[in-house]
């Protein structure tokens, strides 16, 4: 069997697997009215299906999986999903992205099940702005959960913050103070336009380059990019324990470093976050006997992956919001 490599020579060691579309938050850029059930919604993949999917991906070169959603911690069987990933030979990194709503209560359980990396979405350190953006008053709880993970020596923790003009663009000094003593990475993500947030995007889009100029002016230094590190441009400063990554999907070379594929909660392959291509995989997941056919399908699908997204032209592909595909 071959391995996951596309027509432009890019390799894909990284899978982002959505395990649920639903979410309990109402982030204003993602699900401003909260998650709405759709009448013909497909059931998310079950544990056996997830195991088979991960085994097929690992057999053709995937070594890192990120569990995401929607909000993955709404799945009661999340520890089993993590353990199923940990049991697959060849997967060395098991990551998750969460809004942190049950971080304090559950992080020990996730780690015991095999979670190795955790990204938490915290768009601001200001409690009132956090409430405005997410619809929930949970900031202090989440920050306490982060503190206890750090005290425990968990050093593969990152914070995701979407940059939003007029809502959190005054937060850089607070974040820098936060990073002075904490050994974690914050990822500032440029707001992406999706199928449902066009007016919001026009109001709140904040360019990543504007933030990067502020970092350079404060003597933060851009680090050389590392092979297979993904799309973030990473900055460090000798006086700070933490680091800063900037994710700029509208920048020129963003897609050149693409190393990831996505699978939706119901088991549809997505070759690009904003593409129109991808096939259902669920029919391969009912029995172990179909695993070889699934591997062949993955390899041949990669031949269809485009060189880059067309977000600049407002082309948002199949994605109504990032909760539907796992961000």
Q: Which residues bind ligand SAM (CB under 6 A)?
A: 23, 29-30, 68-69, 71, 97-99, 121, 160, 162, 189, 191-192, 194, 197, 322-323, 326-327
Residue selected from 20, 27, 103, 184 as contacting ligand SF4 according to rule CB under 6 A? 27
* Least distance in angstroms from the C-beta of 228 to ligand SAM: 21
Q: What are phi and psi of 108, to 5 degrees?
A: -60, -40
Q: Which does 31 bind (CB under 5 to 8 A by kind): ligand SF4, ligand SAM, none?
A: ligand SF4
Residue selected from 12, 25, 178, 240 as contacting ligand SF4 according to rule CB under 6 A? 25
Closest by Cα among 277, 273, 243 to 258: 273
* Least distance in angstroms from the C-beta of 33 to ligand SF4: 10
How far apart (Å, rounded) are the C-alpha atoms in residues 206 and 204?
6
> Could you tell me which residues come within 8 angstroms of residue 226 by beta carbon, excluding any fewer than 6 positions away?
none
DSSP string, 292-314: HHHHHHHHHHHTT--SS--GGGT
User: With respect to ligand SAM, which residue has the nearer C-beta, 191 or 285?
Assistant: 191
Residue selected from 19, 20, 31, 149 as contacting ligand SF4 according to rule CB under 6 A? 31
How far apart (Å, rounded) are the C-alpha atoms in residues 77 and 49?
13
User: With respect to ligand SAM, which residue has the nearer C-beta, 301 or 316?
Assistant: 316
How far apart (Å, rounded) are the C-alpha atoms in residues 133 and 147?
22
> Interface mask (CB under 6 A) for ligand SF4, residues 99-118, using x and -?
x-------------------
* Least distance in angstroms from the C-beta of 197 to ligand SAM: 6
**34 to 73, contacts with ligand SF4 by CB under 6 A?**
69-71
Beta-strand (E) ranges in the chain? 14-18, 64-68, 93-98, 117-121, 157-163, 185-190, 221-222, 233-236, 243-247, 260-263, 269-270
Q: Which does 116 bind (CB under 5 to 8 A by kind): ligand SAM, ligand SF4, none?
A: none
The residues that bridge with 287 in the sheet, in sequence order, are none
User: With respect to ligand SF4, which residue has the nearer C-beta, 60 or 120?
Assistant: 120
Give me the torsion for CA of 225, 150, 157, 49, rounded to 10°: 150
Closest by Cα among 280, 272, 282, 281 to 319: 272
SS3 of 62, please? Answer: coil
Q: What are phi and psi of 117, to 5 degrees?
A: -140, 140
Residue 273 engages ligand SF4 in binding (rule: CB under 6 A): no
Q: Which does 194 bind (CB under 5 to 8 A by kind): ligand SAM, ligand SF4, none?
A: ligand SAM
Residue 22 engages ligand SF4 in binding (rule: CB under 6 A): no
* Least distance in angstroms from the C-beta of 313 to ligand SAM: 17
* Least distance in angstroms from the C-beta of 238 to ligand SAM: 28
SS3 of 157, please? Answer: strand
Q: Which does 192 bind (CB under 5 to 8 A by kind): ligand SF4, ligand SAM, none?
A: ligand SAM
Residues at the contact surface with ligand SF4, assessed by CB under 6 A:
23, 25, 27, 30-31, 69-71, 99, 121, 323
């Amino acid at each position: 069997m071959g391995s996951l490599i596309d027509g432009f020579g890019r390799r894909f060691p990284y899978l982002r697997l959505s395990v649920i579309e639903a979410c309990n938050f109402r982030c204003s850029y993602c699900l401003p009215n909260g998650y709405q059930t759709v009448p013909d919604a497909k059931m998310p993949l079950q544990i056996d299906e997830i195991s088979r999917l991960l085994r097929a991906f690992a057999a053709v070169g995937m070594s890192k999986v990120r569990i995401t959603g929607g909000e993955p911690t709404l799945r009661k069987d999340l520890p089993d999903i993590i353990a199923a990933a940990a049991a697959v030979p060849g997967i060395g990194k098991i990551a998750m992205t969460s809004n942190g709503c049950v971080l304090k209560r559950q992080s020990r359980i996730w780690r015991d099940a095999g979670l190795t990396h955790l990204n938490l979405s915290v768009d601001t350190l200001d409690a009132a702005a956090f409430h405005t953006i997410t619809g929930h008053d949970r900031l202090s709880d989440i920050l306490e959960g982060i503190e206890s993970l750090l005290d425990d020596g968990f050093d593969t923790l990152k914070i995701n913050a979407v940059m939003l003009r007029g809502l959190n663009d005054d937060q850089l000094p607070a974040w820098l103070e936060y990073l002075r003593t904490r050994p974690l990475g914050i990822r500032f993500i440029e707001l992406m336009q999706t199928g449902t947030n066009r007016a919001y995007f026009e109001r709140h889009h904040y360019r990543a380059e504007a933030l990067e100029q502020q970092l350079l002016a404060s003597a933060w230094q851009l680090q050389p990019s590392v092979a297979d590190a993904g799309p973030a441009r990473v900055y460090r400063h000798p006086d700070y324990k933490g680091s800063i990554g900037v994710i700029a999907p509208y920048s020129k070379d963003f897609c050149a470093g693409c190393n990831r594929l996505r699978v939706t909660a119901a088991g549809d392959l997505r070759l690009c976050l904003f593409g129109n291509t991808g096939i259902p995989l669920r029919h391969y997941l009912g029995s172990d006997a179909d695993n070889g056919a699934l591997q062949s399908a993955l390899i041949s699908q990669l031949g269809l992956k485009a060189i880059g997204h067309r977000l600049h032209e407002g082309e948002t592909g199949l994605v109504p919001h990032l909760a539907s595909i796992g961000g």
